[in-house]
């Protein structure tokens, strides 16, 4: 949906100043060997965005307000999560270093305008790919997570499906597709749902837990994170699908820089392709010796892909070496190796029945 609120000209400069001066950096898993630095041959680019990032010395990513599993700072202030790893991967490709990143927390209202106006370089922040957003100055790359919207309610209400929520009050974050979803569901099932709008996720969650709303709507994974980390007894709450529709959460860049768009697209794709080809963080060095032409092109031992994007030839190798493939990133952040313990579901490779499809690295 289109943003209907103007971006605060006071808030964002203050947030940006905090992000840059505080030097909040992502903490990547430490590889056995360091990433290849950006070589002099690719020190300049035909992308204005890349040149600005390299001149500045770090990548600026839009983030959420502490969504565990996707983008949230740990107790030491280091950002972790699937979206944070996407930001790191881009920094590895462009700067050769996952720690050359800055994260700017943004609400649903602020995120797209921050991208459009150049306050951030890229938005890897649980943002659904929609027609009106795409037509309004945003280029969506490739999905890094497929999701469905859901309600969370107190178990004591005895509600387990949308059709039973007649007259319920729902906490909703403004600037999200959930506003439209609640309105559509209320009209479709004649539910008379009432919405209470909040400008950030923290406020909507606090209102729900304080009893101001009967239900909380957002992405199912975000609700799972909230239930697992912000409730005394998770069993007191139930989560169920809202509309039954899935959405593609997709990192985005602004219109006007096609080379930057190309780079981010294939950085998002690289971990997916690596998983499909059986390349892991543990075996990537051994794979450098592979005689498979696909693997050789992907890892850069057969040159060409780096030159095409204006990157180091081993940019994809460096991403896998430091962050792992998509399956490893998923399990670490939101899967069985995380507090959320989410199933892969739609986020399995297409060869395993999911929607994650690797494109050709030729």
CA distance linking residue 251 with residue 195, whole number of Å:
28
The residue behind tokens 């270093």 is 97
Chain-centroid distance, C-alpha 87: 8
CA–CA distance from 86 to each of 192, 227, 232, 251, 275 (Å)?
39, 24, 31, 8, 15
Give the chain's residues under pLDDT 50: 1-34, 40-41
- Structure confidence at residue 17 (pLDDT): 42
The residue behind tokens 């896998």 is 320
- Structure confidence at residue 67 (pLDDT): 86
Backbone angles phi, psi at 283, to 5 degrees: -110, 5
- Structure confidence at residue 11 (pLDDT): 36
pTM: 0.84
pLDDT tens-digit map of 63-74 = 988 889 999 999
Backbone angles phi, psi at 175, to 5 degrees: 80, 10
């Amino acid at each position: 949906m289109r943003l209907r609120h103007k971006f605060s000209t006071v808030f964002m400069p203050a947030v940006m100043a905090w992000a840059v001066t505080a030097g909040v950096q992502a903490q990547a898993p430490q590889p056995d060997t360091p990433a290849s630095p950006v070589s002099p041959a690719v020190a300049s680019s035909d992308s204005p965005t890349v040149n600005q990032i390299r001149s500045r010395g770090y990548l600026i990513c839009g983030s959420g307000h502490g969504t565990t599993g996707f983008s949230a700072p740990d107790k030491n202030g280091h950002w972790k999560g699937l979206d944070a790893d996407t930001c790191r991967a881009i920094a590895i490709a462009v700067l050769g270093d996952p720690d050359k990143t800055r994260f700017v927390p943004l609400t649903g209202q602020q995120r797209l305008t921050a991208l459009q106006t150049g306050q951030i370089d890229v938005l890897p922040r649980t943002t659904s790919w929609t027609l009106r957003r795409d037509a309004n100055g945003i280029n969506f790359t490739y999905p890094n997570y497929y999701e469905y919207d859901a309600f969370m309610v107190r178990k004591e209400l005895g509600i387990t499906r949308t059709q039973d929520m007649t007259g319920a009050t729902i906490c909703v974050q403004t600037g999200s597709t959930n506003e439209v979803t609640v309105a559509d569901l209320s009209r479709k099932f004649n539910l008379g749902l009432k919405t209470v709008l909040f400008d950030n996720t923290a406020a909507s969650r606090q209102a729900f837990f304080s009893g101001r709303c009967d239900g909380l709507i957002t992405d199912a994974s975000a609700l799972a994170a909230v239930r697992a980390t912000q409730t005394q007894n998770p069993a007191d709450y139930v989560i169920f699908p809202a509309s039954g529709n899935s959405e593609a959460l997709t990192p985005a860049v602004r219109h006007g820089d096609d080379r930057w768009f190309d780079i981010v697209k294939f950085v998002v794709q690289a971990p997916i392709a690596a998983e499909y080809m059986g390349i892991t963080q543990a075996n990537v060095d051994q794979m450098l010796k592979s005689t498979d032409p696909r693997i050789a092109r992907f890892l850069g031992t057969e040159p060409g892909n780096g030159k095409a994007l204006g990157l180091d030839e081993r940019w994809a190798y460096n991403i896998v070496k430091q962050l792992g493939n998509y399956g490893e990133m998923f399990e670490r952040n939101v899967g069985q190796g995380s507090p959320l313990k989410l199933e892969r579901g739609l986020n399995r490779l297409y060869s395993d029945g999911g929607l994650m499809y690797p494109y050709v690295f030729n």
